[in-house]
């Protein structure tokens, strides 16, 4: 930092007139005295309390910041300091990017109209992201909604914000109409979904670009929600670490761990290679086929590049591999009945039992606070099989690998909360 942009010293807290001004001065003075070199000395209980309190403190400070932004907006602080707008003031004085500055000003203005949400945020009841979801959902309500219904909608969302994170809250907010007008909710939702599905069916696209020098193909696409969910589920199956031949999580050459996006990319490659021949529409009278042209020298181990029928070059090593043919096998459930309750006949749950548990659990791990996908999960007997527990749906849940380890650990206890939901906690 150069001498030209060194921030001026803060006015001492003791010399400040207003309570808010004085509090913020004391806060910075406390931060200046605070050290974090001994965090290792915190017990697990103390560390947990610290984390809960610091995030609650973040929410309370965010509420105070938004109150100050609202006051700055009302009093035209930007004009006082010669700025063209409050967004410009936030950019120049506190280094907020314009997009973030606009979001802060918009949220500050919205919270002035929603006192319950503002008060809950100021109490540290939920993070500012949840307050933003509530504000956006309420602002999106039709203008003809009266004040009583608006208050009921805000009370509902604020209550849910105490129990759910911002992502779940956003999904609940998408169905706010079911709360404020339950009788007409189904018709409105059906109409909205039909319009959206018809629109996306017209706007599907797939763009693919090939780069011969980098030996990559990349692109972008837009799919209907259902087909996107199918693709996601297929890739989840292929990236499942419990497979007999799982996709590596670590690069064998560099030792660097693959990101989730990289593993999904590898799963997509595997999916394409898994498509069998003979199941796709023909192209020019033949199965969709990539023709690789190479010399005899390349075939027997030479170094000359081969070429695809697109004109792109590939390495001789890749050229010597089996050329792929494309096809699709849809995964369709049969219509015949199948017994899901195995009782004592078998210890391990079968595929359809696992699928039924995944559906019952809403697609996530059965542990109430866990959002990991149940598709990767492991079937767990609530009453252990060796103690007489049945291999049936009543006695089974799908849990992620980490929680399965804890569920079987003698130091932890499993409590059944409701069908498909459990809690794991340390024994007293």
Q: How confident is the model over 357-410, as pLDDT tens digits?
A: 887 887 788 998 888 878 778 889 998 887 888 888 889 999 988 888 888 888
Same-domain check for residues 124 and 13: no
**Cβ neighbours, 10 Å, residue 360:** 17
H or E segment and range at residue 210: strand 205-211
Same-domain check for residues 75 and 176: yes
Same-domain check for residues 73 and 144: yes
Asked if the structure places residue 65 within a domain, the reply is yes
CA distance 150 to 154: 6
Same-domain check for residues 313 and 368: no
> 178 or 163, which is more confident?
163
Same-domain check for residues 286 and 155: no
pLDDT at 191 over 80: no
Asked if the structure places residue 322 within a domain, the reply is yes
- 101-110, 133-142, 290-299, 320-329 — which is least confidently predicted? 320-329
CA distance 13 to 25: 5
Q: Which domain holds residue 364?
A: 351-426
Counted domains in the chain: 4
CA distance 165 to 50: 19
Q: SS3 sequence, 388-404?
A: CCCCCHHHEEEECHHHH
Q: Of 266, 292, 327, which marks where a domain is finished?
A: 327
CA distance 238 to 251: 17
pLDDT band at 142; cut points 50, 70, 90: confident
Tokens, residue 46: 């103390």
Contacts of 291 (CB under 8 A, 6+ apart): 308, 309, 323
**Average pLDDT of span 275-304:** 63
Q: Of 327, 362, 388, which marks where a domain is finished?
A: 327
CA distance 108 to 74: 11
Asked if the structure places residue 270 within a domain, the reply is no
Asked if the structure places residue 148 within a domain, the reply is yes
Asked if the structure places residue 271 within a domain, the reply is no
- 200-204, 344-348, 389-393 — which is least confidently predicted? 344-348
Terminal Cα distance for the chain, rounded: 53
Same-domain check for residues 78 and 11: no
Asked if the structure places residue 417 within a domain, the reply is yes
Same-domain check for residues 393 and 322: no
Asked if the structure places residue 267 within a domain, the reply is no
User: Any bridge partners for residue 362, and if so which?
Assistant: none
Asked if the structure places residue 252 within a domain, the reply is no
Same-domain check for residues 54 and 180: yes
Same-domain check for residues 111 and 165: yes
Same-domain check for residues 307 and 417: no
Same-domain check for residues 397 and 300: no
Same-domain check for residues 310 and 360: no
> What are 256-288's pLDDT values in tens digits?
888 888 999 999 988 887 877 677 775 544 466
- 122-126, 174-178, 302-306, 330-334 — which is least confidently predicted? 330-334
> What are 152-177's pLDDT values in tens digits?
899 999 999 999 999 999 988 888 87
């Amino acid at each position: 930092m150069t001498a030209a942009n060194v921030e001026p010293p803060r006015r001492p807290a003791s010399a400040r007139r207003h309570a808010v001004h004085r509090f913020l001065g004391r806060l910075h003075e406390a931060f200046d005295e605070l050290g974090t070199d001994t965090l290792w000395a915190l017990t697990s209980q103390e560390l947990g309390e610290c984390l809960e309190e610091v995030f609650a403190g973040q929410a309370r400070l965010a509420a105070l910041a938004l109150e100050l932004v609202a006051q700055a907006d009302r009093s035209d602080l930007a004009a006082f300091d010669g700025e063209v707008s409050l967004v410009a003031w936030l950019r120049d004085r506190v280094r907020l990017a314009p997009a973030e500055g606009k979001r802060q000003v918009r949220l500050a203005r919205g919270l002035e109209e929603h006192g319950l949400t503002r008060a809950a945020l100021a109490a540290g009841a939920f993070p500012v992201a949840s307050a933003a979801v509530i504000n956006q959902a309420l602002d999106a309500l039709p203008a003809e909604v009266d004040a009583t219904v608006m208050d009921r909608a805000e009370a509902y969302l604020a209550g849910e914000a105490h129990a759910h994170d911002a992502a779940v809250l956003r999904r609940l907010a998408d169905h706010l109409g079911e709360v404020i007008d339950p009788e007409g909710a189904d018709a409105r939702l059906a109409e909205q979904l039909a319009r959206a599905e018809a629109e996306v069916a017209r706007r599907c696209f797939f763009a693919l670009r090939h780069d011969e020098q980098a030996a990559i193909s990349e692109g972008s696409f837009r799919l209907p929600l259902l087909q996107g969910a199918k693709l996601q589920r297929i890739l989840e199956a292929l990236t499942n670490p419990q497979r007999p031949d799982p996709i590596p999580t670590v690069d064998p050459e560099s030792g660097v761990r693959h990101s989730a996006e990289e593993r999904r990319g590898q799963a997509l490659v595997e999916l394409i290679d898994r498509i069998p021949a003979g199941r796709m529409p023909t192209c020019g009278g033949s199965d969709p086929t990539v023709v690789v042209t190479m010399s005899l020298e390349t075939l027997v181990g030479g170094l000359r590049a081969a070429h695809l029928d697109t004109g792109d070059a590939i390495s001789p090593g890749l050229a010597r591999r089996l050329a792929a043919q494309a096809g699709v096998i849809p995964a369709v459930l049969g219509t015949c009945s199948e017994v899901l309750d195995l009782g004592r006949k078998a210890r391990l749950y079968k595929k359809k039992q696992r699928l039924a548990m995944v559906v019952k659990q809403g697609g996530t791990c059965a542990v109430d606070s866990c959002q990991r996908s149940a598709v990767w999960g492991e079937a767990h007997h609530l009453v252990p099989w060796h103690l007489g527990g049945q291999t049936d749906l009543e006695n089974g849940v799908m849990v992620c690998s980490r929680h399965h380890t804890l569920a079987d650990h003698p130091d932890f206890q499993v409590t059944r909360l409701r069908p498909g939901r459990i809690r794991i906690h340390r024994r007293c």
